[in-house]
Amino acid sequence: AQTVTQSQPEMSVQEAETVTLSCTYDTSESDYYLFWYKQPPSRQMILVIRQEAYKQQNATENRFSVNFQKAAKSFSLKISDSQLGDAAMYFCAYRSPGAGNMLTFGGGTRLMVKP
């Protein structure tokens, strides 16, 4: 079974600065998908960014980018030019191919943004 670990329960960043959230995972599969989701107080999980394991190039979405290290089974999220609206819980998630969209989530990191 796959496991996802987020070792940082809380992180804090100054507005306009850059912050990196860590995620490691354990799997014996060679092909899979990785995701970062944002969960604001509204509770709705919002997809931030996704990465296919077969792609060597790191995914980027505007101010969000990932550092995907397949051999190390590491998938960190970098948020540049942090904004107050970025404050939320962030979850790293793993999905096996052919498993529909069943996701295995990490325990989450609470990101606080200081004005």
Binding site for another protein (CB under 8 A): 4, 6, 33, 42-47, 50, 91, 93, 97, 99-108
User: Measuring CA to CA, which residue among 90, 47, 51 is closest to residue 68?
Assistant: 51
The least distance separating another protein from the CB of residue 90, rounded to whole angstroms, comes to 10
Question: Structure tokens of 8?
Answer: 């940082």
Residue (6 or 82) nearer to another protein, CB: 6
Contact 109, 8 (CB under 8 A): yes
Among residues 17 and 26, whose Cβ is nearest to another protein? 26
Question: Toward another protein, which CB reaches closer, 85 or 115?
Answer: 85
Q: By the 8 A CB rule, do 75 and 50 touch? A: no
